[in-house]
């Protein structure tokens, strides 16, 4: 691992940031919770809307968080033009832009204001580091939510194929959740990796779950008995069954499709390998998959819950860890943990 690593957990509302230097106490590493790139760029678009300016989008695929600002711009009667690369922010399949009113152009038309789309704006970050009088890091690692591009099929099914590949081909190794090179279908992570300079990337939910293993006591317990790790995000929730360094099961649902009682019932079924892919998919989730569960795992009963909606399981037999002393930075600590495990 590099001497200092800027770790970014990029969400829809915030980006949670850790400047990790293994040579100093973790408590003294700079940490930030900042507005997300989608929100920052969206506010710039809103200001241009207020000024009545047409806009030209260029840069990268940064996920759909900025799309509502683009639509508001159009609804105000203003024109939006985009490069092909930036247009993937609005649609993985650019044929879907037909009829949207967004034209494609690789150059900025006369009279249009350029707007850079990116999950990582190096110029912005260098200005931030300069203002904070911090040294520029040796490397950047980042995680973001990526449904992936799955032509001709449901992105719920396509995304779950990634988890199936993790369990069956990747032998369930938790460190394989952090990518040297993301799978081709994860187009947002591919653009993000290019923009951060080639550092490691991961899916946000997976990084948060890895963050639980940053807590030494949790990792140690996973070698004594099977454990259940859950990250309840604002839009997605993800759970893994982990035992002796291997993931034996994956469950992914949309947070808005369950309440605490339903989620707990699903987790009880998940822990014994009784929750089917079909049931979760029919309930508008992504699915559930388990390998043969070892008896030595003793039912994966200890349950650790992270994420901004973790309060959903308040009152149930769960623990709420705070990796590195800060639950908001679980994804960042997960990146650090995943990279150290790969080494």
DSSP 165-220: HHHHTSTT-GGGGEESS--TT-HHHHHHHHHTTS--EEEHHHHHHHHHHTSHHHHH
Q: Cβ–Cβ contacts within 10 Å for residue 242, how many?
A: 26
pLDDT at residue 1 tops 60: no
**Which pLDDT band holds residue 13 (cuts at 50, 70, 90)?**
confident
- Specify the pLDDT at position 35: 92
**Which pLDDT band holds residue 75 (cuts at 50, 70, 90)?**
very high
| Sequence ranges of the domains in the chain | 37-117, 145-342
Q: List the helix and strand counts (H, then E) for the chain.
A: 11, 15
CA atoms of 149 and 63, how far apart (whole Å): 11
**Which pLDDT band holds residue 48 (cuts at 50, 70, 90)?**
very high
CATH class of 145-342: alpha beta
pLDDT at residue 64 tops 80: no
pLDDT at residue 228 tops 90: yes
pLDDT at residue 314 tops 80: yes
**Architecture of domain 37-117 in this structure:** 3-Layer(aba) Sandwich (3.40)
Residue range 118-130: mean pLDDT, rounded: 97
- Specify the pLDDT at position 167: 85
Residue range 61-67: mean pLDDT, rounded: 87
**Which pLDDT band holds residue 197 (cuts at 50, 70, 90)?**
very high
Residue range 197-202: mean pLDDT, rounded: 96
The answer to whether residues 291 and 197 touch, using CB atoms and an 8 Å cutoff, is no
Q: Cβ–Cβ contacts within 10 Å for residue 76, how many?
A: 11
**Which pLDDT band holds residue 2 (cuts at 50, 70, 90)?**
low
Mean pLDDT, the chain, rounded, equals 92
- Specify the pLDDT at position 150: 66
Task: Tell the residue number behind the tokens 């009152």, with chain if given.
Answer: 315
Q: Who wins on pLDDT, 305 or 153?
A: 305
**Which pLDDT band holds residue 184 (cuts at 50, 70, 90)?**
confident
Which class for 216: exposed (0-12), middle (13-18), buried (19 or more C-beta within 10 A)?
A: exposed
- Specify the pLDDT at position 233: 86
CA atoms of 57 and 148, how far apart (whole Å): 21
The pTM (predicted TM-score) of the whole model is 0.90
CA atoms of 36 and 269, how far apart (whole Å): 35
Residue range 232-247: mean pLDDT, rounded: 92
CA–CA distance from 343 to each of 96, 129, 157, 165, 339 (Å)? 42, 28, 32, 22, 6
pLDDT at residue 226 tops 80: yes
**Which pLDDT band holds residue 153 (cuts at 50, 70, 90)?**
low
């Amino acid at each position: 691992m590099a001497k200092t690593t800027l770790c970014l957990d990029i969400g829809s509302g915030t980006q949670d940031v850790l400047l990790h230097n293994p040579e100093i106490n973790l408590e003294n590493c700079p940490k930030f919770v900042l507005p997300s790139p989608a929100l920052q760029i969206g506010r710039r678009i809103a200001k241009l809307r207020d000024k009545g300016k047409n806009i030209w989008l260029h840069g990268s695929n940064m996920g759909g968080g900025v799309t509502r600002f683009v639509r508001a711009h159009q609804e105000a009667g203003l024109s939006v033009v985009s490069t092909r690369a930036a247009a993937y922010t609005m649609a993985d399949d650019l044929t879907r832009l037909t009829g949207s009113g967004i034209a494609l152009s690789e150059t900025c038309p006369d009279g249009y204001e350029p707007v850079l789309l990116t999950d990582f704006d190096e110029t912005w970050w260098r200005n931030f580091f300069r203002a904070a009088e911090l040294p520029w890091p040796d490397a950047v690692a980042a995680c973001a939510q990526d449904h992936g591009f799955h032509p001709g099929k449901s992105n719920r099914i396509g995304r779950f194929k990634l988890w199936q590949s993790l369990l069956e081909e990747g032998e369930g190794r938790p460190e394989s959740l952090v990518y040297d090179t993301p799978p081709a279908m994860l187009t947002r992570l591919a653009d993000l990796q290019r923009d951060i300079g080639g550092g490691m990337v991961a899916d946000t939910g997976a990084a948060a779950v890895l963050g639980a293993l940053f807590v030494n006591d949790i990792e140690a317990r996973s070698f004594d008995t099977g454990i259940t790790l859950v990250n309840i995000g604002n839009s997605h929730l993800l759970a893994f069954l982990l035992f002796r360094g291997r993931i034996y099961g994956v469950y992914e649902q949309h947070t808005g499709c369950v309440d605490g009682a339903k989620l707990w019932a699903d987790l009880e079924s998940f822990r014994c390998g009784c929750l089917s892919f079909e049931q979760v998919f029919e309930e508008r989730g992504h699915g559930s998959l388990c390998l043969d569960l070892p008896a030595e795992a003793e039912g994966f009963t200890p349950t650790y819950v992270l994420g901004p909606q973790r309060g959903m399981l308040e009152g149930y037999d769960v623990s709420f860890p705070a990796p590195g002393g800060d639950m908001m930075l679980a994804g960042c600590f997960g990146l650090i943990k995943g990279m150290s495990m790969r080494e």
